[in-house]
Amino acid sequence: MPEKPLTVAAYAAGASLAAVTLVYVFAPTYFLDNDPAGSTGPTNFLTGGNRKKGVVGLANPANDCFINSILQALAGLGDLRVYLIREMHRRSIDEEWIYTQAVPEDFKEYANGNSEPTKIEPEWKVEGQQKGLVTQGLKEMLDQLNERPIYKKTISAMPLVQCMEKAFRQRISRQQQDAQEFLQVVAERLCDEYHAGHRARRYAKCKLESGGPHGGAGDVNGEAVEERLAELAGLELSENGNKGATPATKTKGVVISPDDDDEEGFPMEGKTESQIECLTCGFKPRPTESRFCTLTLSVPYDATSTTLNSCFDGMFKTEYIDDYKCEKCRLVHAQETFKAEMRKTMSEELKERLRESLEKLQHAIDTDPEHAPEDVVLPDSKFAPQCKIARHTRVTRFPKILAIHLNRSIYASQTSLKNSAKVAFPERLPLGGLLFRRNYKLLGVVTHKGSHYSGHYESFRRQNVHPPYANASTFQPSGVYSKTASPMSTPQLPPMVRPSEDGSPLTVTPDILSPASGSTPSLESTLPGNSHRQSTPPLNGNGGVGLKGGPTSAPKEKDPETSSLRSIAHSARSTISKMSPSRHGSGSSRTGTPIPNGTAAKPSKKRKHQGRWWRISDEKIKEASTREVLSMQREVYLLFYELDRDES
């Protein structure tokens, strides 16, 4: 037939066109998602020759390597990115006037009269902190650095630099070129912006509860506010059945989350506590608490090599100080001096005054030695006894992101030198005591090569692909810092009794895995000894419903003489345990299909992927291994650890 070759050619052309279309459409996504970066296999045509896929680089036009290294290290911290997203989302859903009015310095943000320590700063700086200028600028920069380019891409850090210059109203000096100073400026500014935003929200809430006027209330569009509140209040509660969620507080056009006090806070902020003890009288004054965003450890200059644990011991070890004047010892010395004067004097009036002073001193010694009586004149402090004290420091609040600065500077009388001693640092860092142990994982390293006055900074960044921020309750009200609600438990339905054909009562158990429940089965109702055990699971075996075909099987009749309710419950528990591969699920339905043996190699594949790093020097990017990162003992300058959540 003459038409057959033409038909075959047409089919062949159509198939070729379809194949080209599939490659053109799906090849970029396939290679981007499935071809691991740094694989030893042949490179694909999207990577451009032999170049392997990398991350976005940063240009260095004017000795900006100290800025680029810090930004690349911060871009690999997942908890920091989540915090930045939450903070900007918080400021976007609140009314604008909340952050444009500077909070008074004497405002107490908590009901018990306490408040976070604040600095006395000008009003324009406080308003900038409340708006979160640097938070927004850093978020935009880290979002660009976390893009997954399919070709070489380089951006500039100038937008963030200009944002910081605008926030501080001064130019950032390029003369010092110290990466640690830049990190400290950024981290402390982010911490100040977090506390300023928290104070602004508390201040707005107090003003509105007291009925006081606010600057931007007259300009608020009432209909727009009602619309936004209706969105956040969750009109879908009746549809989704989640009655346990707490809606946001609706107060004169301001959205105030009820979980504002339970927010996690700035992830890089930690607290240390310094305690001293007098070795003469045993008095311990109130401990001094201080915040930190970067932890500075001194590298010993009298050794050629050391470890990170030794540097920690040097900071947190007990330190003994001589020639210290203890407050309690001074009061005891004054008491002894007054007693000696009483024995010498003959005046009854003077004895009476000394007796009153001794009573006040004794009361102060017993209650609060740090505050001497105001109406008692103590002897000159130069006559007070000098004693020896012991001082130790401990971390009372461990941050989610631990930034460690290794101080390598050695200051002499005329010059400054760099300490080039080797510092061995681990990939897993345990901190804390036995009862409150914190395990950290290394995510970023900043190294420096050169002398104290010149050199070059590089950064190592772990190849982590952070999942997007998941919100399982998209159409339900939830606070910015609230935890994701657990799925709704299965309703406990009693068995239904209806007569059978022969007139005897027949028990029919409803299917707990039916689609009408709309959620995964609750394992608590099937545990032995639980008070909710009266609900009957689905039947299996000869006379019941089998879960082998899936969790939505329809209930069937059952002969009561074949099995008992106890055996049915045991069978249902074993079946549900097979269906739930892990205890921490996402709330979605799962099938009862057993896990094949081929998936057992996934954890090792994940560990292999976590062992890959990016070595970034401005716009030059190449791969590195964990062994190469840990071998940078002489050049290591900054370490970034994150709380490890992989441990069960």
For 81-103, the pLDDT digits (tens) are 999 999 999 999 988 888 988 88
Instruction: Select which of 392, 452, 456, 609 is catalytic.
Output: 456
Which comes out higher in pLDDT, residue 95 or 573? 95
pLDDT score, position 262: 60
Question: Please, which residues have CB within 8 angstroms of residue 549's CB and are 6 or more apart in sequence?
Answer: none
pLDDT score, position 233: 53
The CA-atom distances, in angstroms, between 283 and each of 289, 337, 368 are 18, 20, 10
Does 164 score more than 70 pLDDT?
yes
Question: Please, which residues have CB within 8 angstroms of residue 573's CB and are 6 or more apart in sequence?
Answer: 526, 527, 537
Does 30 score more than 60 pLDDT?
no
Q: Beta partners for 423? A: 306
Mean pLDDT to the nearest integer, 355-381: 90
Q: How many CA atoms lie within 13 Å of 117's alpha carbon, on the beta-carbon side?
A: 6
β-strand pairing of 154-155 with 57-58 = parallel
Closest alpha carbon to 405 in 431, 423, 387: 423
Report the C-alpha gap between 633 and 412 in whole angstroms. 24
User: Which element (helix H / strand E) includes 621?
Assistant: strand 620-625
Query: Does 456 participate in catalysis according to the annotation?
Result: yes
Average pLDDT, the chain: 74
For 591-635, the pLDDT digits (tens) are 333 444 444 445 555 555 568 899 999 899 999 999 999 999 999
Closest alpha carbon to 161 in 180, 181, 141: 141
Does 470 score more than 70 pLDDT?
no
Report the C-alpha gap between 313 and 431 in whole angstroms. 11
β-strand pairing of 401-407 with 496-499 = unpaired
pLDDT score, position 158: 93
Summary count for the chain: helices (H), strands (E): 16, 22
Q: Where are the beta strands (DSSP E) in 350-434?
A: 387-397, 401-407, 409-411, 416-418, 422-424, 428-431
Report the C-alpha gap between 522 and 504 in whole angstroms. 32
For 229-247, the pLDDT digits (tens) are 556 555 444 444 444 444 4
State whether residue 161 is helix, strand or coil: helix
Report the C-alpha gap between 611 and 269 in whole angstroms. 27
C-beta separation of 37 from 463 below 8 A: yes
* This prediction's pTM: 0.68
3-state per-residue secondary structure call for 288-343: EEEEECCEEEECCCCCCEEEHHHHHHHHHCCEEEEEECCHHHHHHHHHHHHHHHHH
Query: Does 311 participate in catalysis according to the annotation?
Result: no
State whether residue 460 is helix, strand or coil: strand
For 203-213, the pLDDT digits (tens) are 888 888 776 55
Does 538 score more than 50 pLDDT?
no
Q: For residue 56, what pLDDT band results from cuts at 50, 70 and 90?
A: very high
Q: For residue 453, what pLDDT band results from cuts at 50, 70 and 90?
A: confident
Chain mean position to CA 511:
41
Residue 501's CB is within 10 A of a number of other CB atoms, namely: 6
Task: Please give the share of the chain, as a percent, with pLDDT higher than 90.
Answer: 37
Mean pLDDT to the nearest integer, 515-528: 39
